[in-house]
Amino acid sequence: MDRERFGVIPGVTDKEYYTNSFHVPVGYDISVFDKISKEGPYHKYTNAGHISYIEFPSPPVHNVEALQAVLEHMRACDMGYVGINFPIDFCESCHHRGVIDAERCPQCGGSEIKRVRRITGYLSTIDRFNEAKVAELHDRLSHRL
Ligand SMILES: [Zn+2]
């Protein structure tokens, strides 16, 4: 709607979605700690609501020390509300769960794979995303430690 009204403005209306408030753009290559350092100071100025997130390529279950360091950095940077995103895929046939990069389940070969992601603060399966959320998901980069 804004593109129809204002035209294509590079960096503003040139995508199917807007970058949320003070967030670093979803496709910007940045480390976890740098993203937290840049976004944290804005939390106190957005007292009607705020969230910052970081994106991992897989569930961070095998590196608890790194996760603890991330959470401590979030607190030190004055973040009030945070999300730690990572993919969760599951097979509807055999209930295998994990990051399934293929079209078919590695356990049973089933093709009914549900993919849970968080976009705009809400967890959902990708098949329920609108066009804008699919476009944002496509552009998203994981953040490196
Ligand atoms: Zn399966």
120 Cα–ligand 1 center, Å: 29
Ligand 1 centroid to 98 CA: how many Å? 11
Alpha-carbon span 101 to 107, nearest angstrom? 13
Tell me if 122 sits within 8 A of 136, measured CB to CB. Answer: no
pLDDT digits (tens, 9 = 90+) for 80-134: 999 999 999 999 999 999 999 999 999 999 999 999 999 988 899 999 999 999 9
Q: How far is the CA of 47 from the centre of ligand 1 (A)?
A: 44
What are the structural domain ranges in the chain? 2-139
Map residue 71 onto helix, strand or coil.
helix
Tokens linked to 139: 């552009």
Instruction: Give this prediction's pTM.
Output: 0.88
Centroid of ligand 1 to alpha carbon of 90 (angstroms) = 8
